[in-house]
Amino acid sequence: MKYYVDPLRGSMANAGTSPGEPWSTLQSVFEAGKRFSAGDMICLARGMHGAVRVTGIIGAPGGAPVTIAPLPGHTPVLSTLTFVAAARWLVRDIVVAPRFADPISWSASGTAKAAAVESVESSESSAGESAVVDVESGDVASSEAVKVEVEAGEADARGGGGAAGAADEAVDRGTAAAGTAAAGSTATVKARGITISSQALEDCSDITLLRVTQTCGQNSDWWTPAQWIRARYAGGIHIFGRNITVDTCHLHNAAGVYINYHAHKATVTNTIIENFSSDAMNIKASGVTVEKCIIVGAHKVDGNHNDMCQAWDSSDVVFRGNRLVAYRGPPGPLTARDVQGLGAYDGWKRRWRVTDCLVATDHPIGIWIQGDDSCTVTNNTVVRCGANLFFSSAPTSILVGPHKSGAVIGGSKVANNLAEAYRLSGSKAVTKANQTIKPAHLRTAFVQWPVDVHLTEEAAVARDTGAASAVAFVPSYDADDVLRPTTGTVDAGCLQYRAEYTAPRSGPALPATSVTVVPGLGFDVSWTPNGYRSSSLLVGTTQVALCRTGASSYFVFVPGAGAPGTRPPSFFVQGVPDL
């Protein structure tokens, strides 16, 4: 059964079963308690659909989901999207813009409802204030009270101060982000962007987000630290349920993807996290797969210690083919050159597989697996991001070692990597054919360091220097999904040498008529690939961010684009990875 929702022409008094009698907004549909069955589709027209709270256990495990998708040619926008007590839902091709969300107020020393809070961390503001969140009591299956106190200092009354949003975990899972205020005042923050939540643990499952775009603002070039902090606590995809899939999504000027405890078997693939001021990704659950994702654009706006991906005690995690690049181009005043790469240093990491990844940062920690137990770290490329190392005394490194307690299990394999340095002392890991690249060789060894690390003919340090292909732990495919040689040796690092990638190549100019402007957000574009990797876009001289929406179509963010009735100039597709 198909249902139709149109904010401009709809009414909840309509039947909702035909384009001529649509319901009003998706928020109103769920507030009205409408029920759906396996295989149903909810078709959304363009316009603002509000703060949507999806509920409903659809069918039986393994059955068809309910699909929420736009009508052809439409771009519906939601302010927030929350799943509670929901199973078997597919949401695709929509925009979530938390900047439109209704703010939620928190009184200083007051209480607000939250459910099943999993852990509590204090957050330090840029001015040095310390905010403490205390979970008072309650069963995880029912509401709990979260008390928010400010120990010292004064937070911005709009929630923009550094103390706003203290403790990422201490949130109402599905309704609000925690905020703080000075005594006697009220802080306001916006609702989380996307939350796959739970009022009882693990009551959400089998939910897929496909080609969903989230942005807290189109152009962040002139954002203040306070604005970045507001975006941090308004955006993001927060996963608490089981069997959740995030595929080909784009988080832009928002937050990241946070896989929390009990979010077992979460999968995040082909997703871009671009421009962030906190951890871009957290992994706290087991059985997680993160593959072919791009994390780029770290910003330093307060005293928080940030990672492009931070992980806790977990097992059977696959982290493959991801590109983590702290920044591209000359660093700006808020560029976080000291952001860590993959920081997996809390608890034990059992049977982790970190393969075919690029990590580029000016921090010494490129990949850090602390507390390793039978892990595999192979064929990764780990290098600095800028011309000068932020911490000049230590190169960007791969680290594998004992648990924080000093306990060692071992059984890990570290092989075929290409990095500036290795710190493996105290580890019982088996090491083989790890190659060290000198900073002076970065520009000649790679096509376009640090965003394109395809090897050049001059990359002698990496070409044919890896372990024999017959070694069991050598990944069969590189980061481009190209089969590695089945005989002889393989190249070190995340990519095999191929002559066709020795220099960037430009594609054709595309006419402005191929562009459809989405006011205030960007535009959609499509083209026919010409045999090269069409993965980068230039508008004038500006490289812009892409979110793939089809085999040859993308959603594009361009600073200044999006005024009603206007179109950007012609643009060029290039065969260079866009980060």
Structural domain includes residue 432:
no
Domain extent for 95: 1-102+191-299
Structural domain includes residue 287:
yes
Comparing 347 with 391, the larger pLDDT belongs to 347
Residue 254's pLDDT is: 85
**Cβ contacts of 381 within 8 Å, gap of 6 or more:** 357, 358, 359, 417, 418, 419, 453, 493, 494, 495
- How far apart are alpha carbons 209 and 81 in whole angstroms? 11
Q: Is residue 112 located within the same domain as residue 78?
A: no
Q: Is residue 96 located within the same domain as residue 209?
A: yes
Residue 470's pLDDT is: 59
Q: Is residue 47 located within the same domain as residue 139?
A: no
Q: Is residue 76 located within the same domain as residue 112?
A: no
pLDDT tens column, 433-453: 999 999 888 888 988 788 788
Closest by CA position to 471, among listed 436, 433, 504, 442: 433
- 252 beta partners: 215, 274
Structural domain includes residue 119:
yes
SS3 for 234-247 is HCCEEECCEEEEEE
Q: Is residue 98 located within the same domain as residue 202?
A: yes
Burial of 94 (0-12, 13-18, 19+ CB in 10 A): buried
* Model confidence band, residue 542 (pLDDT cutoffs 50, 70, 90): very low
pLDDT tens column, 509-533: 444 444 444 444 444 555 444 333 3
Q: Is residue 184 located within the same domain as residue 262?
A: no
Token pair for 372 = 């390793």
Structural domain includes residue 257:
yes
Instruction: Supply the mean pLDDT for the chain.
Output: 73
How much of the chain, in percent, has pLDDT values that exceed 90?
Answer: 41
CA gyration radius for the chain? 24
The 3-state DSSP class for residue 441 equals helix
Q: Is residue 49 located within the same domain as residue 138?
A: no
Report whether 318 contacts 290 (CB < 8 A): yes
* Model confidence band, residue 261 (pLDDT cutoffs 50, 70, 90): confident
Domain count, the chain: 3
- 283 CA to centre of own chain: 11
- How far apart are alpha carbons 311 and 134 in whole angstroms? 23
Token pair for 206 = 């089998």
Structural domain includes residue 112:
yes
pLDDT tens column, 103-161: 433 333 333 322 222 222 222 223 222 222 222 222 222 222 222 222 222 222 222 23
Q: How many CB atoms lie within 10 A of CB 543?
A: 17
Closest by CA position to 578, among listed 556, 561, 562, 563: 556
- How far apart are alpha carbons 66 and 81 in whole angstroms? 15
Residue 184's pLDDT is: 37
pLDDT tens column, 443-501: 889 887 887 888 988 899 999 998 876 567 788 889 988 888 877 789 999 999 987 66
Alpha helix positions (H), 1-122: 26-31
Residue 52 sits in a domain of what CATH number?
2.160.20
- How far apart are alpha carbons 157 and 153 in whole angstroms? 12
pLDDT tens column, 64-107: 999 999 999 999 999 999 999 899 999 999 999 886 554 433 33
* Model confidence band, residue 198 (pLDDT cutoffs 50, 70, 90): low
pLDDT tens column, 3-20: 999 999 999 999 999 999
- How far apart are alpha carbons 119 and 110 in whole angstroms? 20
Amino acid 158 reads R
pLDDT tens column, 346-390: 899 999 999 999 999 989 999 999 999 999 999 999 999 874 444
Q: Is residue 96 located within the same domain as residue 158?
A: no
Report whether 395 contacts 364 (CB < 8 A): yes
Structural domain includes residue 22:
yes
State pTM to two decimals.
0.75
Structural domain includes residue 473:
no
Q: Is residue 130 located within the same domain as residue 38?
A: no
Could you say which of 188, 210, 231 is where a domain stops?
188
Could you say which of 188, 203, 222 is where a domain stops?
188
Could you say which of 252, 272, 299 is where a domain stops?
299
pLDDT tens column, 314-341: 999 999 999 999 987 777 788 888 899 9
Structural domain includes residue 167:
yes
Q: Is residue 73 located within the same domain as residue 210?
A: yes
Mean pLDDT of the 14-32 span: 96
Report whether 370 contacts 404 (CB < 8 A): yes
Q: How many CB atoms lie within 10 A of CB 243?
A: 18
Q: Is residue 86 located within the same domain as residue 195?
A: yes
Q: Is residue 512 located within the same domain as residue 559?
A: yes
